[in-house]
Structure 1
């Protein structure tokens, strides 16, 4: 059988194809997606005013429906549109979507972070999906005074190539009414395992979604997030409103570099289910503080486990600080739900929602007073 010998040019082409294949096969790195901040502009010929007229006009993205390319400072009626990261963002009008295909590692968990701002629609929701998973994220509540909030959503990669879609399901009389989107990023999640020292997973919230640099409003973990696909591994948001994931670069954090701010009173609850032995005594210890973000006043964090509860008061000056608290409980089942929530709503002077910070939580088995007396 004759051997086929490649010429020099053919060899070069083969090498380029191999390098291209290897590049495609490499999983995407943590951080902004390619053109995740939309700073690479469409060609002028692909725009009609602000409307994107071509499906592939925005580099690295595919768009469908009424999508606009918005420059920071763009005026809409009496409203001035600002952009949190760079100078450009996109707006998703009626039934509009943006999508990007990602190379990921099959069987690995990932978290998507993106920033969104309401414009003129009243009940704005975004459908975020990576086949076969999807989530509907409400964005009508503004948690920050800027109007921009960053959200996190997680998925388990079932394939090596997946397509991320952010879709506005709204139908308004004005097709241009819809949320602004910017700073779309990804982060690989490494769900922490249980240890003998602590029955809680991710006790200090160190494992969590990507925090966009130079944004000062943290990342919202949306309501009704279950622990099997949570962007905050191990934890669930069992409430109507989100909780806020904060970092030590922009906030005061009791321990480590990450914590959670309970920003919506009793509508903002954080929970985790731990394995326990019925009849055995346990101690839940945790830190309560403030984020150093000007959130002042008398705060109370409530913690629940089994049939026990504790209310931890904390007077915040808005400049940071924390105290330690403990809840002792006796397990009544093999699974015990641990819940944290804020008793009251709090707002800063600019009207933005805020609240107490929870961090450094642990559940340990302890000897009950009865067992000590018997010894």
Structure 2
């Protein structure tokens, strides 16, 4: 029998088989979607010793399930860099992204659905650190120079709408730091599907109880930051806009005191930490905005004030926090002047805990309803 298969050497066939095995077992493939950590999302499975030069990772696919580019370090918790001790929030390992370095993973998703990415990050020796998080064609540059927790690690959330059935999740360090070993540490990358809620006849605001939101790591006690300047169409906190220069913190009832349900929002940076939502209203009609103000039982003590705005009206709600939990109800009556009314909340003051980490008042259970009886609405006042 004549043909190419008769004359092909066995060594060539063996090489092709080895390449096929490498592509099957070594290259990261598109994992199926599941709420929680991405495959090897906590980086506990690391490179082989032959794929390391000191702490630097050598090889595009050296970290299982991940594709890397640029200067990437594999960091063990407790490693010292000068006078700095590098701590990992979960497990024993994390990665450090040098200048223009990135980590990438592909995940099977459902086209058209909304998803939220949660990951933990820490600054090292650079001053103005930022991270570019993307799932094409969506991307955002998230500032991480402000540290909100006392241990130096914060968890961040970012959302996207899937335009393909495979999402290519990329975390990239676009920094200008000259020393590549001064990049941020990354650990615990997770994903969660989002189901954007709708306004109803019982609440004209969407997600007023903040129950729909990003994945919260079960073994961390510092909540999840919703970054600043996040719009509601791709918000990890569906329905809400982070309309401020600083982040707001998404907290859960497992680790914090929450006024209602399982989730709430902590305003951690004074007037620079605000959330807003646009509600559909009827001009001339009277509405009542009700909400809870409290503290997260996280030793955040002191006099706090939450300011709420709706239409042309505003209310200041004082709350004296003992740092042990608790809340009060408040409300604001207003007459709509437009078909679209902005509802906004922020904290009047900056507040810090004894360890100098940022904290603030908690808001929850936000409801907006029209009032059928204007005489009743006229008698309504702020209640504590």
Same fold (TM over 0.5): yes
Change (3 A) 1:46 1:27: closer
Secondary structure of 2:182's match?
A: coil
Q: Cα RMSD between the aligned structures?
A: 1.4
Residue 68 of structure 1 aligns with which residue? Answer: 73
Give the TM-score normalised by structure 1.
0.92
Residue 175 of structure 2 aligns with which residue? Answer: 170
Structure-2 separation of matches of 1:272 and 1:298: 26
Residue 4 of structure 1 aligns with which residue? Answer: none
Say which of 289, 298, 316 aligns to 1:284: 289
Residue 332 of structure 1 aligns with which residue? Answer: 337
Residue 316 of structure 2 aligns with which residue? Answer: 311
Secondary structure of 1:176's match?
A: helix
Q: Deviations over 1:263-317 (max 9, x none)?
A: 0000000000000000000000000000000000000000000000000000000
Structure-1 separation of matches of 2:376 and 2:112: 45
Shift of the alpha carbon at 1:162? 1.6
Say which of 88, 102, 111 aligns to 1:83: 88
Secondary structure of 1:228's match?
A: helix
**Counterpart mapping for 1:148-227 below 5 A:** 148-227=153-232
Structure-1 separation of matches of 2:367 and 2:31: 37
Say which of 90, 96, 101 aligns to 2:106: 101
Residue 122 of structure 2 aligns with which residue? Answer: 117
Secondary structure of 1:363's match?
A: strand
5+ residue gaps in structure 1? 1-19
Residue 30 of structure 1 aligns with which residue? Answer: 35
Structure-2 separation of matches of 1:264 and 1:254: 20
Q: Deviations over 1:223-252 (max 9, x none)?
A: 000000000000000000000000001000
Change (3 A) 1:371 1:356: closer
Structure-1 separation of matches of 2:220 and 2:249: 13
Is the Cα contact below 8 Å between 1:26 and 1:104 reproduced in 2?
A: no
Give the TM-score normalised by structure 2.
0.90
Structure-2 separation of matches of 1:336 and 1:46: 57
Say which of 121, 131, 156 aligns to 1:126: 131
Structure-2 separation of matches of 1:25 and 1:54: 19
